[in-house]
Each structure stands twice: as structure tokens, then as C-alpha cells.
Structure 1
Amino acid sequence: MQAVRNLFRAPWSSDVKLSDKTAVITGANTGIGKETAIDLSKRGARVILACRDMEKAQAAVKEIAESSGNDDVICMKLDLSDSKSIREFAEAVNKNEPKLNLLINNAGVMVCPYGKTADGFEMQIGVNHMGHFLLTYLLMDLIKRSAPARIVTVSSMAHSWGSINLEDINSEKCYNKNKAYAQSKLANVLFTRSLAKRLEGTGVTAYSLHPGVVQTDLWRHLSGPQQFFMKMARPFTKDSIQGAQTTIYCAVEPSLEKESGGYYSDCAPANCSVAGKNDKLAEKLWQLSCQMLSITWE
């Protein structure tokens, strides 16, 4: 019902300004990440694009600065499939940035063929969950010092078809690219829930969201029948600007200041799956993630 109600609501918009705020956006050289960067730049934020492909990132910096009229846009190298790169990126941010008010965990891979990250994680759980988990952990002290601050993680409605296989999180026994994607997106929702609990009273809040069915580069790994279905569904899908709106809503909407840990869609609170509200599962995933990343995060 929520989805039907949202169809008839006026589009969300806000004139909140972000002068004097700094945002890091992962995967911001394309798609909804880039549109998020343009919007936050227009609001006056300093925006750091955290991207794997520096050539594309530099082109995006130029485009974002031009369309927003804000020159305070830079790009930095970040490969979420490699913990060494994540640590180098976080070290540079912690050293050079006096504050970090917004961390937008946006980058992701979708239904790709089986592959492993530099650290031996299955690619989708590795990039979509583990990479962002480690990044958030490494930037946490700076984010807390910058409070009020927000951490926004882009999940997907695909989380509701997912389950977390704690015994085989890297899908080594059996790999189904759709299930592995759904598992990684459920991990985003559970991470946000656990994170919000740990951040109570710090002035830092956390949100996860479904951007909508968005026409992006992520579709490139879809099978033939899936591609065909997506072409048929195109009139009902969102472009990147529409797809970025819920991310922006979670980043700036004043009424969310006291909310944390929730899941959003179409710029409004939404229902996540039963598994997405399972605090025991969230805690088990948290502990497993810490163990696999060799970190201690109480």
C-alpha cells in the first residue's frame, strides 16, 4: 500500500543548504551517485567523489562543478573490492578533511558473474557490504566529530528476496548471482540497523533506501530475458535524477534528524522485509563482518 500511496504524493523537494558541510559519495562518477553529487554541490557542500576509475571520476568532477556552479568538488581513488585501497582512501580523508558530515555508501555491483575481491570475498557481498562496512568503520571518528552527521547506504527492494548465509557468505558452495546480490542488499539494511543502535546519542544517524528501479550501468550483467523484461518495463522505471531523490532525501530532509536505522523508498519511510528487521541476524552479520575484515567494532 505504501508504494501505491507514494505514487500519488507530490514529488519531494527541499531547499536545505549544505554550505560548510562535507560529503563523501562512493561510486559518484555515474548514475545516481553522480546525480546525488550534483544536488549536494548545488546546496553548497564540499563533495568528494570516491571512485575506482579516476579518468571517469575527473570527467565527472568537471561536469558536476559546471552544472552546480560549485568548484568545491574533488575525486579520490577508492576501490571497494580491495581493503588496502579502502584504508589508503580513509587515511587520506582523515588526514586532509577537518570534517565529514555525510557519507553516502552508493557504489555497488549487481548480478555479476562469480568473482572474488582482493581480500577473497565474493564480489557482490565484498563490494556492496564489506567494502562499505570497512569504509564506514575507518571514517567513524571523523564523522562523530562532525556531528550532526548522516550515513546513507543505498540498498534495494531486492533485499526482500535475500537471505544471509552466515555459513557460506562468499557463496563458495553454490553461486547464484541474483541470490548473492539480494544477500548483499539485505546486508546493507541490516548494517544500517546495527549501526543506528551503536550510534544512539552521538548525533550521527543512519539510513538505508531503495532508489527505485533505475536505468543504470548496473544492468549490464543482467541475463537476456532480464534485459528484455527491463526494456519492456522502461516506461515504469526511473532515470538517474529520479533515482537519486531518496538518497538526497535521506541526506538532507530535516524531519529525519531524530530518525535513525530506518529504510526508505520514494522519499518516504518504507517497509523492509522481515529478515531486514531481524536484530539477531543483524548482530551475527556484524560480528562475522568484523571477523572477516579483522577489525574490532563494538
Structure 2
Amino acid sequence: MDGKVCLITGASGGIGLEAAKALAGLGATVVLVGRDAGRTEAAVSAVRAAAPGAKVEWLKADLTSLQSVRDLAAAFKARYSRLDVLLNNAGLIIDRREVTVDGLEATMATNHFAPFLLTNLLLDVLKASAPSRIINVSSDAHLAGKVDFDDLQSERSYFGFRVYGTSKLANILFTRALAKRLQGTGVTVNALHPGTVRTGFGHNTKGFFRHIVKLGAPFMISAEKGARTSIYLASSPEVESVSGEYFYKCRPRWTSSAARDEALAERLWQVSAQLTGVNA
């Protein structure tokens, strides 16, 4: 990874931080994205401790805000002329419906619309840096998801885990639709399930899911193990030409039938483009 530049969202802790440590250790310049200055600066220090001499810095962004995502893309382009790996890792689950400054449901805004917008804003740099890679951290929770275009913002019905599952389904559908658009560019895009990882994820919830996280914690894998597939997709020569797939434990994995629905993927792309201001 010498000379390569990696941008990682949700990198102030958990699997994002572990991926940053590993990629920095392989020689990459690593740019961490976080919304909390203190936590993200601590993450930068942790990467430097794990990989002495590593080139690492951070950029601030709140992925619940589309303007903040645009500012992030602009700030990255102002500092870097290349991007070899974009790791869309940030994720959110909440048990009560919240609305962002853009009027979007917060889970879908953070988990789907933000990476959709950020990726599209950085495509020109990724193409210019080809061969390059886009990695979307999804989840087997996509099996519980359903894209309802009549209630995409969950105004009529809200259940935190179902909405989270829908956002993870959207990650895979986005991956599939983007892979088609990137054919012949030298840019690949893949999604992954990191496993059930023991991190701070889900601890900001107060209801059912928080109890599930507590009960399941002893059986969950470490963040270091959870990051392995992300690291593999970012760095392994084995997947240099693989695109549009869903991985688990560094191997292609089955998905739900909905995740393989090309018409659904295309419709979601068009709706997402409209909501985020991306040229479809």
C-alpha cells in the first residue's frame, strides 16, 4: 500500500480504527473521518502508535448532514490529488426516529445517503487514481430490510433494527448499481458483512437493541477481527478486478433476493440521486 491514499469514515473507533491501523501499517497514507475532534485525534494517535512513521491525518464531518458530506469531499480534494481506497465504514442505529437537518430519517441518512453522496463526489479522483477501490460496510442485517419507496423516511412506521436493516440493504443495492456504472474505469466497489462485532455500536440506543447488544457481547468478535474483510478488500491483489460483490470472512457471501434485484437497485439510485442532489 506504499504511496496509496485511503479515506475511512467512522474511523474514530471500532472496526474503522482497526482498518486504519492495518492499512497504515502496510504503508498507506490514511485519512480518518470523524465528527468528534477529541475522539478522532485520539484515533490518529492510536494509528501512529500502531504504525510508527505512518502518514495519518483526520477530517471532521457529520454524516447526518449532506452539506457536511460535501464539505468533507471538498476538503479532501483540496489536500489530496489521489484516492486509492474509499472505505465507507460509518454506521448508525437508533431506536427512535430522528430527522436530520436535511429532513431525512437519520439512520438512512448516515448509513446510505451519506456514503452515496460522498462516493459520487469523489468518483473523479477515484477514477483518476485507478486502479482504485470503494468498500461499503454493510451487514447481514440487510436480510431484515425492505425498501418501501412509499415510506422511505419511515414516517408511517419505525422500528430501529428494521430501518437499520433497510439501510444495510441499501448499501448492497448501491454497490451493485455502482459496479455497473464503473465497468471499464479501473475502479471496483464491493460490500461486506464484518461479523457481529463487539464495539460501542448500538450503545446509544435505549430500547430492545441495546439489550440485545449487552446480552450478545460475550459472543461477539473483536473489532480487530471485524476489520479483516475491510482490510482484505482494500489491499489484497486477489480482489483487484472483483466488483459488485458482497463479502464475509474475506469470501463472497450470499445475499437476500432483494439485494440482487437490479430494478430495485436502479430505482433506489434514482431516488437517492434526487434526494442528495447527485446527477443521476
Q: Is the 8 A contact 1:196 1:260 kept in 2?
A: yes
Q: Is the 8 A contact 2:95 2:207 kept in 1?
A: no
The alpha carbon displacement at 1:228 in A equals 4.5
Partners of 2:114 and 2:209 in 1: how far apart? 27
Q: Among 99, 111, 115, which residue is 1:132 paired with?
A: 115
Matched, 1:183 2:166: yes
The alpha carbon displacement at 1:205 in A equals 0.2
Runs of 4+ in structure 1 over 2 Å off: 221-236
The alpha carbon displacement at 1:261 in A equals 0.4
Q: Match for residue 208 of structure 1?
A: 191
Q: Is the 8 A contact 1:112 1:124 kept in 2?
A: no
Partners of 1:91 and 1:227 in 2: how far apart? 36
Q: Match for residue 256 of structure 1?
A: 239
Partners of 1:280 and 1:200 in 2: how far apart? 18
Q: Is the 8 A contact 1:50 1:76 kept in 2?
A: yes
Matched, 1:268 2:268: no
Q: Match for residue 76 of structure 1?
A: 59
Give the 5 Å matches for 1:1-298: 18-222=1-205, 226-297=209-280
Kindly provide the amino acid, as one letter, of the partner of residue 184 in structure 2: G
Q: 1:165 to 1:70 in 2, by over 3 A?
A: farther
Partners of 1:227 and 1:123 in 2: how far apart? 18
The alpha carbon displacement at 1:272 in A equals 0.9
Kindly provide the amino acid, as one letter, of the partner of residue 22 in structure 2: D
Q: Which runs of 5+ in 2 are unaligned?
A: none
Q: Is the 8 A contact 1:27 1:108 kept in 2?
A: yes
CA RMSD between the two structures: 1.3
Matched length:
280
Kindly provide the amino acid, as one letter, of the partner of residue 283 in structure 1: E
Provide the secondary structure at the position in 2 that maps to 1:202. coil
Provide the secondary structure at the position in 1 that maps to 2:227. helix
The alpha carbon displacement at 1:180 in A equals 0.7
Q: Match for residue 10 of structure 1?
A: none
Q: 1:265 to 1:100 in 2, by over 3 A?
A: same
The alpha carbon displacement at 1:47 in A equals 0.4
Kindly provide the amino acid, as one letter, of the partner of residue 185 in structure 1: K
How high is the TM-score relative to the length of structure 1? 0.91
Kindly provide the amino acid, as one letter, of the partner of residue 252 in structure 2: P
Provide the secondary structure at the position in 2 that maps to 1:219. coil
Partners of 1:234 and 1:81 in 2: how far apart? 27
Provide the secondary structure at the position in 2 that maps to 1:49. strand
Q: 1:226 to 1:51 in 2, by over 3 A?
A: closer
Partners of 2:7 and 2:211 in 1: how far apart? 35
Q: Is the 8 A contact 1:22 1:100 kept in 2?
A: yes
Partners of 1:185 and 1:274 in 2: how far apart? 14
Partners of 2:71 and 2:211 in 1: how far apart? 41
Q: Which runs of 5+ in 1 are unaligned?
A: 1-17
